[in-house]
Amino acid sequence: MRVLLVEDDHELGQAVVSGLRAGGFAVDWAAGLADADLKHSVHTYDCVVLDRGLPDGDGLGLLRGWRSRHERTPVLVLTALDAVPDRIAGFADGADDYLGKPFAMDELVVRVGALCRRAEPPRETVLRLLGVEMDLPRRRVRRDGVLLSLTSKEFAVLELLLTRAGHVVSRSEFIEHCWDEMAEPMSNVVDVVVTQLRRKLGEPPFVATVRGAGFIVGATE
């Protein structure tokens, strides 16, 4: 899942990016409204974490603009402006959640995860295919009952493959959904993670390569 953080405080921004990435999210970071609006227009995000007091204005102004264009990306407002009138204004302008500073990082990660899931079509919380079982809420993966230790990137790649079971997932789709803007689209990062994932999943082979197209699980002859 890919998240856009809009925060001008460098130290806090680094901490939030690290916390969200540790929670399994790909994160892009904008320090102002103009950059945030540009990133939002270029990429598809599962959630936006939005500060209010930014150098080029109040984040709620950007949020109002998005909502006026019927853009429904879930938005969590993260701000020191936490009085009751401030929270009411945030929800009135289209916020889906509102969290005051200071905050607990674990709570932010859980709230962002909840917003990302809310935006998705209803689906199973446990994905199963050919002996592989992925428990999404608990972030656990087993094959034939054996618990596997996956990195956050391996987990994200496997989740995308399982949700698209029977369909080819291209490398560009992996980059868009599982990585952030720091990833080089022409690099081999996807192939490296898929190779690591295959090794951990063991035999028989679970992820198939479709030459020139991408990767697939659950393919039928």
pTM to 2 decimal places:
0.65
**Per-residue model confidence as pLDDT tens digits over 78-117:** 999 999 999 999 999 999 999 999 999 999 999 999 898 8
Kindly state whether residue 221 falls inside one of the protein's structural domains.
Answer: no
Q: d(Cα 160, Cα 151) in Å, to the nearest integer?
A: 14
pLDDT at residue number 121:
59
The CATH number covering residue 24 comes to 3.40.50.2300
Which positions ≥6 away from 77 have C-beta within 8 Å?
50, 51, 52, 59, 60, 63, 90, 95, 97, 98, 99
Q: d(Cα 4, Cα 25) in Å, to the nearest integer?
A: 10
pLDDT at residue number 207:
94
The count of structural domains within the chain is: 2
Q: Are the C-beta atoms of 77 and 115 separated by less than 8 Å?
A: no
The residue written with tokens 């204005």 in the block is 57
The CATH number covering residue 136 comes to 1.10.10.10
* Same domain flag for 155 and 82: no
Among candidate residues 86, 119, 152, the one where a domain is terminated: 119
Which positions ≥6 away from 112 have C-beta within 8 Å?
3, 20, 23, 25, 47, 49, 76
**Per-residue model confidence as pLDDT tens digits over 154-175:** 999 999 999 989 999 998 889 8
* Same domain flag for 6 and 115: yes
pLDDT at residue number 175:
86
Among candidate residues 75, 92, 119, the one where a domain is terminated: 119
Domain enclosing residue 176, as ranges: 126-216
The pairing of beta strand 75-79 with beta strand 97-100: parallel
* Same domain flag for 133 and 108: no
* Same domain flag for 140 and 73: no
Q: Are the C-beta atoms of 75 and 95 separated by less than 8 Å?
A: yes
Residue ranges for the chain with pLDDT beneath 50: none
